[in-house]
Amino acid sequence: MTKEWFKNWFDSPYYHILYHQRNDAEAELFIDNLLAYLQPEPQASFLDIACGRGRHAIYLNKKGFSVTGIDLSESNILFAQEFQQENLHFFVHDMRNAFIGESFNTIFNLFTSFGYFDTFEDHVLALQQFNRSAKPNAALVLDFFNTAKIMKNLAPIEHKTVQGIEFSIAKEVLNEQLIKTIAFSDKGDNYSFQERVHAFLPSNFEQLFAQSGWVIEDRFGDYELNPFDEERSDRLIFICKKTL
């Protein structure tokens, strides 16, 4: 069986080279705005699903909350575990499988860490597992890109040089997926990776949430939590509540 694309790419050191510029200040602003909106109790617990190297989880923990981060990438979790302490823990875990342990007041799935699977059913399954990890009336924050804006402004090819490596990034829409093919050479070897993310629209998410025990309470279009606008917003951020 072919390894799923994200298992190859997210564990590659080149993923972190290409995306090294990701902005911690922006992530912290987003967390601050979410906390102001959600108003969690001081003892609230958070599950950060697809936490990457833990930048959101670590900052959230610094704000005084108990946080668990899970991610499929072993290399990401090994990095994040260097920051573990009493109320901050990280585990290798596939979001489609039940996370056995405590249940949480708030579930985070941030920075387009969704839409990676081949089937609609796998995405429903993942959201059902989010639900199983959530306490009654828990909140889910799911942060996705604004598909409509991306598809309207899609550049077919991009070149980017990072740490002496020239990345060629081809972009296309195929089978309702946004596909990036990332090709480059390093130390005499040629590499090619893909990112394939379903081009989910708000209506698709409404179906996904309805089938997995979540109801949408609000939606925003950026990390400052301005209202979502399909033409102009960069993000599609859902605030949901557990119903099952």
Task: Read off the pLDDT of residues 114-157 as tens digits, 9 standing for 90 and up.
Answer: 999 999 999 999 999 999 999 999 999 999 999 999 999 999 99
Residue 25 belongs to a domain: yes
Residue 121 belongs to a domain: yes
Residue type, 103: S
Nearest to 135 by CA among 44, 26, 22: 44
Q: How far apart are CA 70 and CA 48, in angstroms?
A: 6
Residue 222 belongs to a domain: yes
Residue 135 belongs to a domain: yes
Residue 237 belongs to a domain: yes
What CATH number is associated with residue 108? 3.40.50.150
| pLDDT tens, residue by residue, 182-217 | 999 999 999 999 999 999 999 999 999 999 999 999
| pLDDT tens, residue by residue, 147-189 | 999 999 999 999 999 999 999 999 999 999 999 999 999 999 9
**Interstrand relation of 66-71 and 45-49 (parallel, antiparallel or unpaired):** parallel
pTM of the model: 0.94
Q: State the total domains in the chain.
A: 1
Residue 180 belongs to a domain: no
Q: Is the pLDDT of residue 68 over 60?
A: yes
The reported pLDDT for the residue numbered 20 is 81
Contacts (Cβ under 8 Å, ≥6 apart) of 93:
70, 71, 72, 99
Burial of residue 227 (CB within 10 Å: 0-12, 13-18, 19+) is exposed
Question: What residue numbers bound the domain in which 104 lies?
Answer: 21-145+200-242
| pLDDT tens, residue by residue, 85-102 | 999 999 999 999 999 888
